[in-house]
Structure 1
Amino acid sequence: MSKGGDSSAVPDAWRQIAERKKTLMGWPEWSEVATLTAGTAVHSRRDDLRTVAAEIIEALFQLADEDGTGLVGVRLRLKAWAHRRQRDVTATLEVVGGRSFVTISRLDAWPSDPHQNSLKALKRLGVKELLGVKELRSTIDGSHVHRFADNARYGVEAFGPGPEGNLPVAVALPGNLQSFRDFLRSVMLEFNVEGLGDFPSPPSWQVILWL
């Protein structure tokens, strides 16, 4: 762990991955939506709530460099509600760190709740001055991005679990996302990934009404 905001403990390999141009090694399928079983063989209490409305689906991409050579231990993950179009859609850039993957950048589109940049995050290492008062606000009510560079200034603990982790520093996305395609374009720009622009939205979105 870093002390006093020292970002030297943040692996340089993470920085290189975040900054380099990346491509996709093909398009994965969205994970399948669970199907509720029905019929006389299914027994439940009258007050049981049986629904797939809260089902979360994801698409996991393996990444390569700009020449198409695979990047070992580097992936892009998209997550969304299966039955809620353009609500709480997330993209994460993940790298191998120890025994598991670590999220080094995250983009949150159409979040249900605002993001709070803590006072500690605003003051740590003079981040507020480094990024500009207008860009880094205490409360972000809307789509936003947790950039690697911003959180690396905070320290290595920004990438770990606990109250200091989960990428605490975020800035609002410029403009207003109007569609899934806008979301993909923002992911490509923020994560420096090519080839994502035409990836299809979740199939389950095509058969639901706006919620």
Structure 2
Amino acid sequence: MAIVVQSGRAEDDRPIIPPAGTTGNQNLIIPSGQANAPATLTVYEDPRCPGCAQLEHVLHATINKLQDEGKLRVEYRILSFVDRIASGRGSKYAANALAAAQDAGKFRDFHDALFASPPPSEREDTFGDKEVLLALGRKVRGMDMSKFTAAVRKGTHDTWVNKVQQAFDRQTAIQATPAVFFKGKDLVKDREHPLTPERLTALVEAEADR
């Protein structure tokens, strides 16, 4: 199930604090994997998007394996528009929690834990309860829970989350999530070649063999 994006604007007067290690124009990207990996995916996803959860369920093990082999780098743009569509704050809170996990060097582990939880419903703002996010953080081995808890409860990266969404709202190329770009093409839109673990592996292996 894909979520169709609606434009809008989020406001927050606090200073913008990007998480550690973010890249790209205005530090809106959370990278995962080696910087010199031969293949790069750009992933647009919202923590409350059921289609994003479904995609992660299918692909996360393959993505992790390819990253561990040094073949794949993933650049995540974490969005929060479902809060506007369905009302609530879970997208924003979860995106801030992902940023807090990035600060702790545990982005991938927390990302996996978050998307491994029961698939979200647009009508149920599960992540609108910060205690749910903290419980997921406690599942991550080695997470600095003192710092993570403070960042989640204070919304340390809320304004950065807003900025990522605002930048997304200004573009017109992507109308729904999840969106997964490889060499300029959205693999999710290719109905002739479904995005399976086998296909992703073949695409990445081809780049690694060049």
Same fold (TM over 0.5): no
Give 1 or 2: higher helix fraction: 2
Q: Which has the larger radius of gyration?
A: 1
| Higher RCO structure (Cα 8 Å, ≥6 apart) | 2
Task: Please give the range of the TM-score, normalised by the shorter of the 2 chains.
Answer: under 0.3
